[in-house]
Structure 1
Amino acid sequence: MTMSSLKEKCLKILNEKFELHLLHKLAMFLHPKLKSLKLLADHGEIMGVHSEARRLVKELEEKREDLPDRSISAAPAAKRARSVSVDCLVDVEDSSDDTVPPDDEVSAYIEFKPPKGNPFDVLWWKEHAKTFPNLAMIARNILSIPAMSAASERDFSTAGFVIQERRTQLKPGTVDDILFLHSNLKGK
């Protein structure tokens, strides 16, 4: 009884202090081992994350379609002819798996089973960029956002110590140099 009341109280405090935004949920979805989104409360939230990921992928695809394609015209004629003949065989090749390909990249990612036991590394997306090119680009943008602003707040605090009442006439370049020296000499 005591543990359940403690759990409820902690959950209430967390909900008051920390709000999960769509960006947080997308970051969780882009983690291959958390992509099932089991930590979210209901199925509607999960479907909302999936639809937002599909919207972002579609937006990227539309941007790529607007760009002129120079890859075919830049290739020599012999290379173009060879690649066309190889591509024609794709229709008749035998494949070891008889699964139906997913409709879109997000569905393929959801169905993808990462190997068990391997810890997640952000470079996973670099390794799988050919399989999920649009999601890899979205992951690069979302997962590169710092989780906390503590480092920048520390820098502002240090700047407050540097620019004091007696040092208000320091030039911006001098302040930058002092802060640079402080951050690089801190560990030594």
Structure 2
Amino acid sequence: MDIVEKLIDFFYPWKVVLNELQKINGPSLFLVIPCITYARYELSNGDCKERSGMRFFYKRALQLLSSMFNMNEDYIVGAFLHPNYKQLRGANSTQISDCYTTCRLFIGPCSSSTETNERIYEPQEKKAKIFMSMLMDKQKKQQSTSDEVDRYISLVLDEDKQYENPLDFWKKKENQIAFPYLSRMARKYFSIPCSSSAVERQFSATGQIITQRQSSLNPLTVNDIIFLRSIENKYP
């Protein structure tokens, strides 16, 4: 029984991670980094606490954790676009820097085209001639060093504001006004699921609906049944 209890403790972090990554009723792309960081932390603690033969399993699991998961850039950006995970704990400095660059590249073309249109349609004001203006100090326009990404990074949320669904944050009008391009980017990235479990479940449910006795069901009817089933699972 002692060995069984140790095995249960060993597999518990994996159970938590799999349950989180297989969620289908909301955005899941941001969960990859927190889940891997959580699993690495729990396995490291288990390795430190364990003094028996189980320590080999913890060390081996830590090695497999690093080699099994390919940390795609989409996972990093997804975590960054979640307001509660934007500090990217668990990611290295290179991944964080690449994430910021990706966000700025997404913002760049959009913001530059908008500013160009505003300059085209804005009437130019005539400047009055000033005596000896050629000898006056040249006034350089100070450019703001803080862009939309920097302002989002420095955003501090209240302690009671914890978002399970990051789209709840981006749906707010004040956040869309403050971060117009990042909100658009969030809608794009959070439409990507982090795993194929949701699709596989839909195929499994369809296989239970279309049987030998119901092989002639209209595809539209099957689609309606699947749709109603998804609503039932979301709002039990």
Taking structure 2 as the reference length, the TM-score comes to 0.53
Higher relative contact order (CA 8 A, sep 6+): 2
Q: SS of 1:12's equivalent? A: helix
Distance 1:171 1:165 in 2: 14
Task: Specify the code of the residue in structure 1 equivalent to 2:80.
Answer: F
* 1:116 alignment partner in structure 2: 159
Range 19-28 or range 168-177, more displaced: 168-177
Q: Say which of 78, 85, 98 aligns to 1:27.
A: 78
Distance 2:221 2:75 in 1: 38
Range 29-38 or range 128-137, more displaced: 29-38
Taking structure 1 as the reference length, the TM-score comes to 0.64
* 2:147 alignment partner in structure 1: 104
CA deviation after TM superposition for structure 1 residue 61, in Å = 2.4
Question: Structure 1 residues 59, 9: closer, same or farther in 2, change over 3 A?
Answer: farther
Question: Structure 1 residues 180, 120: closer, same or farther in 2, change over 3 A?
Answer: closer
Q: Say which of 145, 150, 168 aligns to 2:215.
A: 168
Q: Considering only aligned residues, what root-mean-square deviation do their CA atoms show, in Å?
A: 3.4
Q: Is residue 61 of structure 1 aligned with residue 99 of structure 2?
A: no
Distance 1:147 1:18 in 2: 12
Q: SS of 2:198's equivalent? A: helix
Q: SS of 1:129's equivalent? A: helix
* 1:151 alignment partner in structure 2: 198
Distance 1:181 1:114 in 2: 37
Distance 1:181 1:103 in 2: 47
Identity score, percent: 29
Question: Structure 1 residues 57, 177: closer, same or farther in 2, change over 3 A?
Answer: closer
Unaligned runs of 5+ in 2: 1-43, 49-54, 123-142
CA deviation after TM superposition for structure 1 residue 158, in Å = 1.8
